């Protein structure tokens, strides 16, 4: 379904004579919330949620990866190109670009 809407959006945005560039949406390692790995704060999901919000705020202020969960590690060998993505594409659904199909 996501692919069908993406194709419709691209078709409606295409204009003859204009150049295009490659774009994409990567949805990797998506799992149900109840199947996610257990964490240190498992008994208090409210506390965990507040911690994630605080980490997002620190990273927005001081830059990407200023604060990360220890399980994520610190070594950054590879990163996807992110010139055109929305700033908070995983934390704020309102900032995900909308595609309308006609």
Q: Domain residue spans in the chain?
A: 32-79
pLDDT tier for residue 58 given thresholds of 50, 70 and 90: very high
pTM above 0.85, yes or no: no
Q: Say what the pLDDT of residue 57 is.
A: 93
What are the contacts of 45-54 at 24+ separation with CB within 8 A? none
Quickly tell me which residue has 């705020």 as its tokens.
Answer: 57
Query: Which pLDDT tens digit goes with each residue over 7-17?
Result: 887 787 777 88
Residue 95 Cα to chain centre, angstroms? 10
pLDDT digit string, tens, across residues 62-93: 888 888 887 777 676 666 666 666 566 566 67
């Amino acid at each position: 379904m996501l692919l069908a809407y993406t194709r419709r959006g691209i078709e409606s945005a295409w204009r003859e004579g204009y150049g295009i560039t490659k774009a994409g949406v990567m949805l990797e390692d998506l799992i149900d919330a109840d199947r996610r790995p257990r964490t240190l704060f498992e008994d208090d999901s409210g506390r965990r949620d507040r911690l994630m919000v605080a980490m997002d705020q620190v990273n927005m202020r001081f830059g990407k990866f200023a604060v990360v969960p220890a399980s994520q590690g610190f070594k950054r060998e590879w990163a996807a190109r992110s010139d055109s993505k929305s700033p908070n594409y995983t934390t704020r659904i309102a900032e995900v670009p909308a595609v309308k199909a006609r």
